[in-house]
Every structure is written in C-alpha cells, then in structure tokens.
Structure 1
Amino acid sequence: MKKFLLLFLILTSISYAQSKKEILVGDWQGTDINGVKNKMIFTPDNFISMTINGEFIDGKNYIIKGGKKDGQKALLKYEIDESKVPITMDIIAIALEKDKEVEKGRILAILDFKSDDEVRINLGLNGVRATEFNDSNEGSTIFLKRN
C-alpha cells in the first residue's frame, strides 16, 4: 500500500510540474461568444496555426493571398509569459523577406487555464492587451478544449 501511495504522489507531482507552455502544446477547438468555431494548434517550437476570419492559417507555411505581398511566405509564432497573472501570450506575424524573418505585428492575448484540457484566451485585436477577463471583453474571448 505504501508503494502505491508513493507512486501516486510521484505521478501527481510530475503532472503538476508541467509548464503552461507544455500544456498548451497541441490541437484545440472551441467557439467565441458569437458561436464562431475556432481552431488553434500550438507546436513545441512556438508556431501557432489558427482560424482567422473563417480561414485556417498554417503558422509554418502560410502563403499570403492578395495585395502587394501576394505569394509571399509568412509565419505565425507565439510567446507566452507564465510569470504574469493572467498569463500573457503574443501571437507574432512574421514575413520572410530575403530569407530573413521580419516581424509585421502582434496580437496581444491573455490566457486562463480552467484545466489541462480547457483554456480561455482573450485576443487583443486592437493592439491592446486585456488585463483581465470581464464582460466588456467577452466578444474577443475564445473558449478552447483540447482535441
């Protein structure tokens, strides 16, 4: 019985030792307040693929469609800061220009893990990061569940 208890404690402590970034890695699906379905895929090498305005953007291999950058390859990456409350995340749009990564903009977000398989993300699409989840920013909040 003591061995079983010890094994249980070790396994429990290992699962709690995971960082939020490690927990975030994977495939997630959810909806926003308007019922719009969203998909986000976080990779261990900091790429994010996601649905934007109904279009799925492959973070590692996105080809820009239309405009003066038509046909140019672009990337989407993410960075999170677990030291802040709530956890902050930046989604970074990057253009490849002459084989160099050039940052083109950021979506500033906050994260709230409800469990290892449920997360709430508020996306600051106007260049401003929310400081909390509340009624005034629920329109830019997505509830995701792990696939």
Structure 2
Amino acid sequence: MKKIPEPTRRRLVQVFQFLSGWKKSRITSAEISAFLGCKDSLVRRDFSFAGCAPGVSNGYDVEALKNVLASVCGVCPADGTARKKCCIVGLGRLGAALLDDSFFEESGFSVEAGFDSSVNRLEIMRSTFELYPASRIETVVP
C-alpha cells in the first residue's frame, strides 16, 4: 500500500466525518468538493490514494466509501465495534485526568495500559486498566 500524504489523509478524515451525516445512499465528487472547498478532481485523486473504486456517473456508494475510508484512515466506527487499543504514557496532571475511562467511551479508543516513570505515583493512582513503570513499555505494548 502506498503512503498517503498528510494533506490527503486530513481531507479523507474530513470526508469520513462529512459522510457520517449524509442521508442519501450515493454522493458525487462534486458534492464532496463543495464541502471541502477544493476541486472535484482533487477528491477523486485522494480517493485513488485510498484505494477506492472509481465512482460512476451517479457517484460513490456512501456505505462502501465510509468503510474504505475508515480502514485507510484508522477511523473507528461510532458503534464501537472496532475499537483501537491505546495506552497513556506519562501520568502527570493531563495523563491522570485521562484515567477516567468514560472520557474514551465515544472515541473509538480503548485504553489498555498506563505508564509513568514514578513508581510511587503508580502505587497511589487507581484506574480501570493496568498501570506500569515506564521501563516496561517495550514488554507490555506488544
């Protein structure tokens, strides 16, 4: 798979978010370009980077397009069926605030572990997932 340039990736994520609110079953590159504020040829080029099948004269199938964009961009579906595993590194003020698991409920991410360099901090903190010393990142993350 070819590497997708960052500007293209950003546009594809924007298109994915836009399609989440789209009510029709088909959409054209012209309709998407009007939303993004760019040429429709750029939208078609972005879709070719993502490996989308070329649209036909009446546009792209919205559900198929959303599925391709979700897998290419690493965007999780809102229903939570394919949650991405992640961890928090550094449990200072910001990291400790993220320990509240409800923060990630709607995000499509599942926090599996937390890491900090201070073992004393790990002993007093509580969370719904395991907390480890930073020295164990290489063994725990895989």
Q: TM-score, normalised by structure 1?
A: 0.22
More strand by share: 1
**Which structure carries more helix by proportion?**
2
Q: TM-score, normalised by structure 2?
A: 0.23
